[in-house]
Amino acid sequence: MTFTVTIRDTDIVFGCDPTQNVLDAAETAGWAIPYSCRKGVCDTCVGSLVTGDLDVPGRGNMCGPEDVRLCCARPKSDVVIAPKRIEQRTPPVRKRLTTTVYRRRQVAPGVTILDLRYPIGRRTPFRAGQFLNIILDDGDTRSYSLANSPQHNDLAQLHVRHEPGGVFSARILQQLEFHDTVEIEAPFGEFFVEDAADDTNAPIILMATGTGFAPMQSIILDHIARRLSRPIHLYWGARTLGDLYLLDIVGSWTRRYPWLRFTPVLSRAHPGWEGMTGHVQNAVISDYPNLSTHQIYACGSEAMINGAADALTRERGVDPVRFHADAFVSAVGAPAAV
């Protein structure tokens, strides 16, 4: 039996099996609801249940009694819901592929860059900012942002932070050799730069902490490949300068492309550091008295994203629909300190 999902105050209606979650059913019907982890961890997909009955595992820590994580919610009756946002979108074409390891290099004390190659002739079109899922032997998944440009979609570059005790980053990754295989599914994600016609030149602020730089690299490489000149200001936060693991590449971009500005932000700066210190969101706040015409893209630690969403909308006039974020939450619900 298929139940009906109606979106409050719209004429949007789609079907959803009791075995299917509302996010998947919306996607299949051509409707995009914001999401990130798809595992009930990050709360990006939270919406309200207006009427009807949903089976919602793990409702702990929700803001209100009607709040539901739509990536886990399965209908038990016809329902009316109110997601934070819903947009018409062609259903994504995802591919599951067996990739091979091309290169693995440790670029900072806790960060490895992993380059994977797809089978010959296979490509996975994606938009800069999206991510893939690594499929582990037991079928569980780990999400990693694609750091390569969308123009090079026969490969995947991943920037992996080492999580102590992490199944993938602390165990599997450390043993991967040239030509070993890694199962992936791609692409996923609602985190990518909007280029609506009326917004094409709205300046962009990219805010990253740690390996949150990965999707920002893809966005900038895409900008370069498409010869765009929309102003971009990249803020990249880490504890120390050595943790900003691709500073030389960022330096080569800023020397070459006048539309790109870069501000490193250190939380444990060495003596003599003359740049920005503290939290990335505070650096943005101190540089920009008004951000009402900007689009913001934030990626990395949940703390930075929550802090930025709150401070930039409240204090700097950022329109919430122009604030886009992917929180690098842990697949098992533990805080990932990126």
Q: Which residues bind to ligand FES, rule: CB under 6 A?
A: 35-38, 40-45, 69, 71
- Decide whether 163 or 190 has the Cβ nearer to ligand FES: 190
Among 160-168, 178-186, 200-208, 243-251, the segment contacting ligand FAD (CB under 6 A): 160-168
Q: Which does 25 bind (CB under 5 to 8 A by kind): ligand FES, ligand FAD, none?
A: none
Q: Taking a C-beta distance cutoff of 8 angstroms, is the pair 161, 338 a contact? A: yes
Q: Which of 126, 131, 192, 253 is in the footprint of ligand FAD by CB under 6 A?
A: 131
Nearest approach, Cβ of residue 216 and ligand FAD (Å): 10
Q: Which does 44 bind (CB under 5 to 8 A by kind): ligand FAD, ligand FES, none?
A: ligand FES
The reply on whether position 297 binds ligand FAD by CB under 6 A is: no
Structure tokens at 284: 């943005």
**Which residues touch 293 (CB under 8 Å, ≥6 apart)?**
202, 203
The reply on whether position 304 binds ligand FAD by CB under 6 A is: no
Among 36-44, 89-97, 229-237, 276-284, the segment contacting ligand FAD (CB under 6 A): 36-44
Nearest approach, Cβ of residue 42 and ligand FAD (Å): 6
**Which residues touch 336 (CB under 8 Å, ≥6 apart)?**
161, 163, 301, 302, 328, 329, 330
Q: Where are the alpha helices (DSSP H) in the chain?
A: 22-28, 173-175, 213-225, 247-256, 280-287, 302-316
Q: Which of 60, 139, 164, 272 is in the footprint of ligand FAD by CB under 6 A?
A: 164
Using DSSP, state whether 158 is helix, strand or coil: strand
Structure tokens at 270: 């060495």
The reply on whether position 148 binds ligand FAD by CB under 6 A is: no
Q: Which does 43 bind (CB under 5 to 8 A by kind): ligand FES, ligand FAD, none?
A: ligand FES
Q: Which does 131 bind (CB under 5 to 8 A by kind): ligand FAD, ligand FES, none?
A: ligand FAD
Residue, CB closest to ligand FAD: 166
Q: Taking a C-beta distance cutoff of 8 angstroms, is the pair 247, 336 a contact? A: no
Angle made by CA atoms 328, 84, 190, in degrees to the nearest 5? 45
**Which residues touch 263 (CB under 8 Å, ≥6 apart)?**
233, 234, 235, 236, 275, 276, 283, 287
Structure tokens at 213: 């730089």
Q: Which amino acid is at 215?
A: P
Among 12-20, 25-33, 34-42, 312-320, the segment contacting ligand FAD (CB under 6 A): 34-42
The reply on whether position 40 binds ligand FAD by CB under 6 A is: no
Structure tokens at 144: 């990693």
Binding site for ligand FAD (CB under 6 A): 36-37, 42, 131, 142-145, 159-161, 163-170, 211, 214, 326, 328-332, 334, 336
